[in-house]
Amino acid sequence: MNESAKVYLVGTGPGDPELLTVKALRLLQNADVVIYDRLVSEGILQQIPTGVSKIYVGKQTGNHTLPQDEINELLIKLAETERSIVRLKGGDPFIFGRGSEEALLLAQNNIKFEVVPGITAASACTTYAGIPLTHRGLSQGVQIVTGHSQAGRPLDLDWASLADENKTTVIYMGLANIELISTKLIQAGLDKTTPAAAIQNGTTGKQNRVLTTLEDLFVNTQGLQAPVIFVIGKVVTLAHQLDWFTEENVIEGEFVDNEKLLHG
User: What is the CATH classification number for the domain harbouring 141?
Assistant: 3.30.950.10
Examine the fold and report which residue of 48, 82, 116 is the final residue of a domain before the chain moves on. 116
**Confidence band of 264 (pLDDT split at 50, 70, 90):** very low
Q: Is 92 a catalytic residue?
A: no
For residue 1, tell me if it sits in a domain. no
49 domain residue, yes or no: yes
Q: What is the pLDDT of residues 87-101, one digit of tens each?
A: 999 999 999 989 999
In which band, very low, low, confident or very high, does the pLDDT at 77 lie, cut at 50, 70 and 90?
Answer: very high
- Residue numbers of the domain that contains 249: 121-263
For the cut 80, the answer to whether the pLDDT of residue 188 exceeds it is: yes
Distance, CA of 85 to CA of 163 (rounded, Å): 42
Q: What is the mean pLDDT of residues 239-261?
A: 65
Number of domains in the chain: 2
Say yes or no: 19 and 112 in one domain: yes
pTM of the model: 0.90
3-state secondary structure of 61: coil
Distance CA(7)–CA(93), nearest Å, equals 13
Residue 146 lies in a domain: yes
Q: Could you tell me if 70 and 160 lie in one domain? A: no
**213 Cβ neighbours under 8 A, 6+ residues apart:** 192, 193, 194, 195, 196, 253, 254, 255, 256
> Pick the catalytic residue: 6, 16, 37, 89?
37
Residue 37 bears catalytic tag: yes
Does residue 254 share a domain with residue 137?
yes
Q: Show which of 96, 116, 136 is a domain's final residue.
A: 116
Do 112 and 132 lie in a common domain?
A: no
Neighbours of 104 (CB within 10 A): 12
Residues 14 and 141 in one domain: no
Amino acid 120 reads T
The single residue of 59, 112, 191, 243 carrying the catalytic annotation is 59
